[in-house]
Amino acid sequence: MNDILLDLTVFFEILLKQNTALAVWNKLISYNYQPYLSSSSIPQIEMFITKHKIDRSIVQRELLTKIKFITNTGKEARESINYFDCSIALSIISFKRIAPYGIVLSNNKRQNYFGLRYFDIQEFLFYVENNNLENVNIPMLDLKAEYRFMMEDIDHSLSKMIVNDKYILGPQVKELENTISNYLESPYAIGCSSGTDAIVLSLRAFAIKLKAREYFDKSDYIITTPFTFIATASAILRSGATPVFIDIDPKTLNIDTQKLSKFLKKMTLKVIGIIPVHLFGGACQMDDIQNIAKENKLFILEDVAQAFGGSWNNKKLGSLGDAGSFSFYPSKNLGGFGDAGMVITSDKEVAQLVSILAKHGENDKNNTNHIGYNARLDTMQAAILLDRIKHIDFFIKKRIEIAESYSNGFSNIPQIEVPKSYSKAHHVYNQYTIKVPADKRDALQDHLANRGISTKIYYPLPLHKMKVFNERCYIFEDLVESESASKEVLSIPIGPVMREEEVITVINEIRYFFN
């Protein structure tokens, strides 16, 4: 609850550099509160600056660069007319939409604050010094805060997209494809409707190219890990092939390449490809995987759903195999406001096939060559992702900083294994996942929940234990590491707008539990 709407009277006192108001402003900035003003207040601010002959360049540089402006909708404007001071009502109604648990800073105690908490400047100074403004509530990922971080750009982009009425395959889709192609240094990028569809479309394209058939068949085997989200392996089934599950490296939680090599030396199956999953943002051992694939003539489809922006040996993940599949689900490092995905590849034929399959299999409006899908990338998601990708490097940097704080904070707790990655891997921490003794994991999760700290278990059931894969998969040897990890892993909060004090609270509560 670090979002604060400034009543104009308070903002004007700040402009006039009144002592108490300046003290409030300094507290807002030093305590990482985010101040807001309503965009409807701009005319009044303009009049005030002109009347008091205030240097607007100073206002812009020292104040407005730290303030976010809330867009007012027409519906909110109509609602505000019902109130005596409709301009103030409009500001508060609009603020409540984007920050339903925010605080209003106002000197007018008689105003209707529509259920929001409010403080005058004296009360605010007292409460912020005594840490009484908020209870602990730390989500796994604060998507509302991420939106507020970039809401001015996103609101503008969405309004522009709606007015231009290109709702399906609008220009933003091609612009995003070009942007991601450049970012990942891959010749081709094809948007699609989800990360799951990105895998399915890629596999279908491989089947058409390599087998001259619409689908693989059950005698075609594709290797992957059992310790991942179901989409990876269910996509193999949907492509017609059979998944092979090979155990994980217990340190990185990614597929164990030594066991992979051992399987291929022993196997009598018709193995055609491998899907390495860069779990939680950390790269698989791609040198080994590339060498193994080359020796055994396997295609590589990288599952990069959790690792956008990550790299191996300074090369972006997704660009090391024959294709890479990405998810832009809201919780991902690059996330939209719903489902969205992308395939990248350096293979022109695969790129063309993916594009055709995503649009019902049509080469043109009058001819359909393949069994396709309605799996196009939505224009709205593309518009949002274009705004979000502007911040991706900064967001990844913040995630890495938080991860380093966690790892340092847990360094002297022997019961905790912090995330590990290979020396050539650039980990981007879509999740920060620790391992703790199985008999402590659930108790730790309950302890953190009681302290208002959200956690998540990824994944409580390895894929080979799921009913859907009964008699539909091949299991190589035992999968003991995957089964152990499912009982030991716990993902804790991490996100690009997470505050330092929240990180410290998480560290302290986990240290308290073990000490």
Does 216 have pLDDT greater than 70? yes
Residue 107 is predicted with a pLDDT of 86
Residue 267 is predicted with a pLDDT of 85
Q: Of 172, 198, 216, 171, which Cα lies nearest the Cα of 351?
A: 198
Q: What digits encode the pLDDT tens for the residues 477-491?
A: 999 999 999 999 999
Q: What percent of the chain has pLDDT over 90?
A: 89
Q: How confident is the model over 280-307, as a mean pLDDT?
A: 98
Does 256 have pLDDT greater than 80? yes
How, if at all, do strands 362-364 and 432-435 pair? Answer: unpaired
The rounded mean pLDDT for the chain is 95
Does 440 have pLDDT greater than 80? yes
Q: How confident is the model over 115-119, as a mean pLDDT?
A: 90
Angle between helices 286-296 and 257-266 (to 10 degrees): 10
Q: Which helix (H) or strand (E) holds 134?
A: none
Q: What digits encode the pLDDT tens for the residues 259-280?
A: 999 999 988 899 999 999 999 9
Q: Quick one: how far is CA 44 from the chain centroid?
A: 38
Dihedral sign of CA atoms 250, 319, 333, 34 in order:
positive
Residue 131 is predicted with a pLDDT of 63
Does 289 have pLDDT greater than 80? yes
- Ordered domains of the chain (ranges, CATH): 3-134 (3.40.50.1010), 153-390 (3.40.640.10), 392-514 (3.90.1150.10)
Q: How confident is the model over 8-29, as a mean pLDDT?
A: 93
Does 134 have pLDDT greater than 70? no
Encoded tokens for 405:
């704080």
Residue 55 is predicted with a pLDDT of 94
d(CA 264, CA 298): 11
d(CA 384, CA 381): 5
Asked whether the beta carbons of 307 and 428 are under 8 A apart, the reply is yes
Asked whether the beta carbons of 402 and 140 are under 8 A apart, the reply is no
Q: How confident is the model over 408-415, as a mean pLDDT?
A: 97
Q: What digits encode the pLDDT tens for the residues 144-175?
A: 999 999 999 999 999 999 999 899 999 999 99
Does 1 have pLDDT greater than 60? no
Residue 40 burial by CB count (10 A; 0-12/13-18/19+): exposed, middle or buried? Answer: buried
Q: How confident is the model over 428-436, as a mean pLDDT?
A: 98
